[in-house]
Amino acid sequence: MHFQVIKSYVLFFFAGLAEIAGGYFIWLWLREDAPLYFGILGDIILVAYGIIPTLQHFPDFGRIYAAYGGIFIIMALFWGWWIDGKQPDFFDWTGMLVALLGTTIILWAPRKQGEDDVREADQC
């Protein structure tokens, strides 16, 4: 697999982990009466979530966040399975595969000559 592809998915993974964990800490603070420091830690983690996608080398903010949405869907369902004990069902698994396919198409589909594309990002 090409280094840029691996790097992209690693960054998407860490962005997803930061968003889910940050939101989860805030959830625990506000909904489960956890101490205030859970909310503060969640805020700090969510700031990291906002920074991580900027490390991507794709030229288009919208494409990065659209593709990231697919990764987030997958990670959120796994988080729910491992942390909350809610095992994904057939439709969850099917949706995850569709989301991954959509993410792959958004990021790696060949673009027409002259459009912003991944090849331009590789020059960064």
Assess whether pLDDT exceeds 90 at residue 95.
Answer: yes
SS3 111: coil
pLDDT surpasses 80 at 21? yes
Task: Looking at mean pLDDT, say which of 6-10, 25-29, 112-116 comes out highest.
Answer: 25-29
Whether the model clears a pTM of 0.85, i.e. scores above it, the answer is no
pLDDT tens per residue across span 35-74: 999 999 999 999 999 999 889 887 788 888 888 888 889 9
Angle at 47 between CA 44 and CA 48, to 5 degrees: 90
